[in-house]
Structure 1
Amino acid sequence: MTEDDADLRADALAVLAPGFVGTQVPGWAGELLEQGLGGLWLFGHNVQDEAQVCALTAAVHAARPEALVCADEEGGTVTRVHHRDGSPWPGAWALGVVDDVGTTRAVAQGLGVQLHAAGVDLAAAPVADVNSEPDNPVIGARSFGADPALVSRHVRATVEGLREGGVLSCAKHFPGHGSTRVDSHLDLPVLDVDADLLATRELVPFAEAVRAGVDVVMTGHLVVPEHGELPATLNSSVLNLLRDDLGFDGVICTDALDMAAVARTYGRERSAVLALAAGVDLLCVGNPAFPGDYDAEEDTRGLVEAVLAAVRDEQLPRQRLHQAAERVRALGARQAANRADPRSGAGARAGSGVGARAEKTDLHQVGRDAAARAVTVTGPVNTLDAPVVVALSRTMNIASGARAQVVVDTLAARTGGRVAELGELGEVSGRADQAGSMDPLLLVSDDQSDLHDPDLQALVRRCAVLVHTGVRDLPAGLHPACLVRTFGGGLASALAAADALTARPVT
């Protein structure tokens, strides 16, 4: 291999951040890290416990200190490090309901401190999407809200808080996934807005993220018709909005290339080449275990060869690849220096009252207190004696997994109840009728729950409590005896709901 060939291959490796299977760094990944791989992406199946995660990230950084360990850590329903027990941090919509930027910054800093301690370099947050479409199937509670000004101020607070916590921030999903009705994991969404609305709504939080010094911006796999038929991830016209109009000079990262929105039409290898040519710097490959089910090593090596072939065939300018690789290397080097600084991630940035608060208080209590401020209760809270706790959602969101499970498990544990499946309720009711009594019914719903379904509505009308974790309002005329709204899922919001049900006086 000539020196030029070696440099070219090093550049092709530098722009890749694949996922992998297992709770240790696989041999192939360690080999590629030593050769210059940009980083690795952690998913829930890579996480066993805190000690294991620390050992895993230490092995990554031992192989290559500048490599980036990345994870989807938004708080609320989207977490990887806390996927077993649920995130101790409230999600974005709950923070938007509270609308206290100091609280959002404290939560982000606490999350950053925790990730920094675990060796995670980049949190794929904040979500900068303005969720203006109530029927959005994939963003919803992951957004701070439907108002661009509100989203902007909390995006800034999150970028600043993560930085104070010692980790890199990543605003997503450019140019905005909030007004779409299609999940890009499953199909290709269309952001059907004109240039004025794009500029005054979708782009506003991203512009604020850039001004706040966000480290990375992640693209969304969605079509903006005024910019052509290519999805934003593969579209230089859309990415030029970020570079030229918003002035972002940091790393542009793709959303996962194994998502159907791009993989189904272009395939991962072609998507990788088109994304780099369009102006992307870092390729998030995706999750090889779910829903991908592909060989991560074979896929990663194939992507390297596809990028090399594209350069040789002049489909991808050599200078463009080198520019992308240099941006990723510079970011990795900066984070490696930050990681080596004993002061980083300690929650003690100069002049930061937020930092002092996060340092002196149990970190998880910061998240729990924030989640509690978002909770609303409508109707009387009567004594819940061993309730039957049931999730009404029959589907799950790929980004967050089975989001309701943490909530139902936590509520059952905190109220002395038991978890039942939706299909069991007829049998439970039958036994209760024979016994002449019925355990109180505590239902949990989210935006995946079909609350227009007559059968579910009947259950809601007879339940003792409905804990609604979604952002959509209940259908008109549907009034449970007691409604608890958390505006998001995850452990922090589940605990806040349980506290509302067990600490309020009986009326």
Structure 2
Amino acid sequence: MRSSRLSALLLVMASLTLAGCASATPSTPSPTAPPPTPTAAPTPTLDPLAAWVDERMAELSTQQKAAALLMLHAPGTDPAPSRALIDAGASGVILMGDNIAGDAPSLAGMTAALVADPELPPLIGVDQEGGEVSRLDWDTAASAATLREAPPAAAREAFAARAASVAAGGANVNFGVIADVTADPASFISGRVLGTEPAAAGERVAAAVSGERGVVASTLKHFPGHGAAPGDSHTSIPTAPLSRAEWRAGPALPFAAGIHAGAELVMTGHLAYPAVDAAPASLSPEWHRVLREELGFDGVVVTDDMLMLQHNGLAEYADPGENAVRAVAAGADLLLYVLPADPSEFGISVDGLVASISAAVDSGRISEERLDDAVRHVLELRRSLA
């Protein structure tokens, strides 16, 4: 028995030894592929527009950034007062009836004198809706009164012609696309809407933006919708009784359609929807959030004329500097002022507005990030129009 076990053990050990010898025997290495050649990491693609704007912004002081948020009006056909606003750092001017005399070439001569830097032209805007609100006599394209009863293609054709009329006078921004909707003939905005129900209005709003595309920058107004808010926002704060859900199912649709079509600006109205925010939309952080996050708008948010807040006679809006700070803090990028010949009549000056905004940045009421975001939106639009 002991001999058998020993024999078996020796046999196993011999096998292991032979196996070890076999594994120790050198073998011919199999050919292997050469190591991969290292490749450089892809270079990030820089957006030339964003890079250009960042470079310009790096040169601006807080005061210059604050001035860049202003778009104002100076009365008269002499370009000098409007040019003085641009030279003071404002990003643009709005043309009213008192700026326009004669034909398109005459206006083009005036607006050409406003360009101080061809690489960064000023925003030159005009309210050219056609029909009830029209500044340019040479624009003979159909207005809302006709277009809301016509197919959307008619709105595209009309606003293509309208954009050409605006550009012929040297303006590059049209505050002309009404995205409000109402079926109430007694509404302040009734004669100017492109549709009496949301879906139809949305189709025509999108078509209008498409017609202006590439000729002038399009503006949708008056967000979040004047049609649901009875009253005239020039002299009051009209109030809409809608819930947030009702707004999304109704007044929101034309704005969403216009944004999807590529509108470069949205104008906020001095309108209140208490179910969303008691403050007028132009001063409401929540409405600006909805516009950016829910509707996906990434262009320039411009206010309606800021003097309208003072015209309503409410003590809460009597201070123009405070109104400006609230608007910028809420999310506005561009503050619009239709100034009279003597702006001091309403306690307004470019220096005063700049001082109010700058002080709010210094105190933290307006974050530097918010200021830079607003300036970046405005400069990107101006540069894209060069």
Once the two structures are superposed, the pairs formed by residues 197-212 of structure 1 within 5 Å of their partners are 197-212=246-261
Which of 94, 102, 125 is the aligned partner of 1:70?
A: 125
The corresponding residue for 1:482 is: none
Distance apart, 1:13 and its partner CA: 1.2
Distance apart, 1:93 and its partner CA: 3.1
Q: Give the TM-score of the pair, scaled to structure 1.
A: 0.61
Which of 254, 266, 269 is the aligned partner of 1:220?
A: 269
Distance apart, 1:87 and its partner CA: 5.0
Asked whether 1:16 is paired with 2:54, we answer no
Q: Report the 3-state secondary structure (helix = DSSP H, G, I; strand = E; otherwise coil) of the residue aligned with 2:148.
A: helix
Distance apart, 1:300 and its partner CA: 2.4
Structure index of larger Rg: 2
Q: Report the 3-state secondary structure (helix = DSSP H, G, I; strand = E; otherwise coil) of the residue aligned with 1:125.
A: strand
Instruction: List 4+ stretches of structure 1 deviating above 6 A.
Output: none
Q: 1:312 to 1:261 in 2, by over 3 A?
A: same
Equivalent-residue separation in structure 2 for 1:149 and 1:53 (angstroms)? 37
Distance apart, 1:116 and its partner CA: 1.1
The corresponding residue for 2:228 is: 179
Asked whether 1:306 is paired with 2:356, we answer yes
Amino acid across the alignment from 1:309: A
Equivalent-residue separation in structure 1 for 2:311 and 2:193 (angstroms)? 23
Once the two structures are superposed, the pairs formed by residues 111-190 of structure 1 within 5 Å of their partners are 111-137=162-188, 139-164=189-214, 166-190=215-239
The corresponding residue for 1:274 is: 326
Aligned residues: 325
Aligned residues of 1:94 and 1:141 also touching (Cα < 8 A): no
Aligned residues of 2:76 and 2:98 also touching (Cα < 8 A): yes
Equivalent-residue separation in structure 2 for 1:81 and 1:318 (angstroms)? 39
Q: Report the 3-state secondary structure (helix = DSSP H, G, I; strand = E; otherwise coil) of the residue aligned with 1:259.
A: helix
Distance apart, 1:66 and its partner CA: 2.1
Q: 1:106 to 1:6 in 2, by over 3 A?
A: closer
Distance apart, 1:287 and its partner CA: 4.0
Q: 1:161 to 1:262 in 2, by over 3 A?
A: same
Once the two structures are superposed, the pairs formed by residues 22-33 of structure 1 within 5 Å of their partners are 22-27=76-81, 29-33=82-86
Equivalent-residue separation in structure 2 for 1:17 and 1:162 (angstroms)? 21
Aligned residues of 2:125 and 2:174 also touching (Cα < 8 A): yes
Once the two structures are superposed, the pairs formed by residues 16-55 of structure 1 within 5 Å of their partners are 16-27=70-81, 29-50=82-103, 51-55=105-109
Q: 1:215 to 1:202 in 2, by over 3 A?
A: same
TM-superposition CA deviations, 1:304-358 (whole Å, max 9, x none): 111111112222112211110111010011011xxxxxxxxxxxxxxxxxxxxxx
Q: 1:285 to 1:335 in 2, by over 3 A?
A: same
Which of 86, 90, 96 is the aligned partner of 2:148?
A: 96
Distance apart, 1:35 and its partner CA: 5.0
Aligned residues of 2:125 and 2:172 also touching (Cα < 8 A): yes
Q: 1:38 to 1:217 in 2, by over 3 A?
A: same
Once the two structures are superposed, the pairs formed by residues 395-434 of structure 1 within 5 Å of their partners are none
Aligned residues of 1:13 and 1:38 also touching (Cα < 8 A): yes
Distance apart, 1:259 and its partner CA: 0.6
| % identity of equivalent residues | 32
Which of 309, 329, 337 is the aligned partner of 2:379?
A: 329
The corresponding residue for 2:53 is: none
Distance apart, 1:206 and its partner CA: 0.5
Aligned residues of 1:132 and 1:179 also touching (Cα < 8 A): no
Distance apart, 1:55 and its partner CA: 1.3
Q: 1:35 to 1:109 in 2, by over 3 A?
A: same
Equivalent-residue separation in structure 1 for 2:376 and 2:60 (angstroms)? 15
Distance apart, 1:14 and its partner CA: 1.0
The corresponding residue for 2:19 is: none
Aligned residues of 2:237 and 2:272 also touching (Cα < 8 A): yes
Equivalent-residue separation in structure 1 for 2:58 and 2:363 (angstroms)? 16
Equivalent-residue separation in structure 2 for 1:57 and 1:197 (angstroms)? 43
Aligned residues of 2:106 and 2:169 also touching (Cα < 8 A): no
Amino acid across the alignment from 2:360: A
Asked whether 1:80 is paired with 2:135, we answer yes
Q: Report the 3-state secondary structure (helix = DSSP H, G, I; strand = E; otherwise coil) of the residue aligned with 1:253.
A: strand
Q: Report the 3-state secondary structure (helix = DSSP H, G, I; strand = E; otherwise coil) of the residue aligned with 2:98.
A: helix
Q: 1:41 to 1:300 in 2, by over 3 A?
A: same
What residue ranges of structure 2 are gaps of 5+ in the alignment? 1-56
Equivalent-residue separation in structure 1 for 2:245 and 2:169 (angstroms)? 43
- Of 253-262 and 204-213, deviating more is 253-262
Aligned residues of 1:33 and 1:39 also touching (Cα < 8 A): yes
- Of 310-319 and 249-258, deviating more is 310-319
Equivalent-residue separation in structure 1 for 2:167 and 2:148 (angstroms)? 25
Equivalent-residue separation in structure 2 for 1:101 and 1:261 (angstroms)? 38
Once the two structures are superposed, the pairs formed by residues 330-349 of structure 1 within 5 Å of their partners are 330-336=380-386
Q: Report the 3-state secondary structure (helix = DSSP H, G, I; strand = E; otherwise coil) of the residue aligned with 2:250.
A: helix
What residue ranges of structure 1 are gaps of 5+ in the alignment? 337-507
Equivalent-residue separation in structure 2 for 1:44 and 1:255 (angstroms)? 17
Aligned residues of 1:263 and 1:271 also touching (Cα < 8 A): no
Amino acid across the alignment from 2:262: G
Aligned residues of 1:91 and 1:141 also touching (Cα < 8 A): no
Amino acid across the alignment from 1:39: G
Distance apart, 1:24 and its partner CA: 2.0
Q: Report the 3-state secondary structure (helix = DSSP H, G, I; strand = E; otherwise coil) of the residue aligned with 1:69.
A: strand
